[in-house]
Amino acid sequence: MNAEVVGSGKDVSLVGHVNVSLVAQIGHAELTVEELFALKKGDAVRLEEGSDAIVTLLLNGRAVALGELVCVDDRLGVRITELA
């Protein structure tokens, strides 16, 4: 792959080498403060979303893509379904 042109054809020659960090947001849970402070090692927090929930990929807190959870070898991954 040409290092100067990636994906949509944008020229990234000046910043292509810069590392960025994506965060995968998979869900949320609402707890009372009492429930929060009662958490201990081994507890499970139930998320509002189901196991097939849409994953949002965030770059600096801004949504850049949507996807679905997949297994990649022995790790979790995200298959991109939509770019923002």
pLDDT band of 8, cuts 50, 70, 90: low
d(CA 57, CA 47): 17
Average pLDDT for residues 31-49, to the nearest whole number? 96
Q: How confident is the model at residue 66 (pLDDT cuts 50, 70, 90)?
A: very high
For residue 12, the model assigns a pLDDT of: 85
In a domain? residue 57: yes
Domain count, the chain: 1
- CA dihedral defined by 44, 50, 52, 58, rounded to 10 degrees? -70
Tens-place pLDDT, residues 43-52: 999 999 988 8
pLDDT at 7: 58
Domain at 65, CATH number:
2.30.330.10
**How far is 54 from 63, CA to CA, in rounded Å?**
12
Question: Which 8-state DSSP code applies to residue 53?
Answer: P
pTM: predicted TM-score of the whole model, two decimal places = 0.72
